[in-house]
A = this chain, B = another copy of it.
Amino acid sequence: MDQNRELKKAGLKVTHPRMLILDILQDPAHQHICADTVYKLLLEAKTDIGLATVYRVLNQFDDAGIVERHHFEGGKSVFELSNKNHHDHLVCLKCGKVIEFEDDIIEQCQKEIAVKNNMDLTHHSLYLYGECKDGCNENIA
């Protein structure tokens, strides 16, 4: 069991809810997922995990660095596994599609801006919003 080790490494006890939530996060179909959707998926899977636990576990995963939290427009947090390279996001406001991208030049500029303004940079959030030119199904995910 791989999740097993992942949880222990983070100092978290291996419990049923945490395993199931990690499963969902690891499913490529569920990138950038919100707490509510995780909860719905757990319900559909006929488990009886409470919404409070979903929020708690996602927060713990965030604290442990297992997931990253994002604030896209809309007011709710979305999470993604943090086992990939740093990247930013391009979000389609029509269909909800999320494209990940990396841009070294932007990263470099940000560092310079922080230095210029006498700040220690801890993190940043960059979201580009737009509309797919084609292949957009108009359904917000």
Contacts and interface: CB of A to CB of B under 8 A. Distances in A.
Interface of A: 71, 73, 75, 90, 92-93, 99, 101, 103, 105-106, 109-110, 113-114, 117-134
A73 B122 CA distance: 13
A122 B93 contact: yes
Nearest to A101: B113
A96 to B, nearest CB: 13
Given A118-B133, A118-B134, A128-B121, A105 B103 contact: no
B105 A119 contact: no
A105 B93 CA distance: 25
Q: Considering residues A109, A121, A130, which has the most beta carbons from chain B within 10 angstroms of its beta carbon? A: A130
14 contacts: A90-B117, A99-B117, A101-B117, A105-B105, A114-B128, A119-B130, A120-B133, A121-B128, A121-B130, A122-B129, A122-B130, A124-B129, A125-B127, A126-B126
A120 B130 contact: yes
Nearest to A132: B119
Contacts of A123: 129
Contact of A103 (B101, B109, B121, B128): B109
Given A101-B113, A109-B103, A113-B101, A129 B133 contact: no
A128 B113 contact: yes
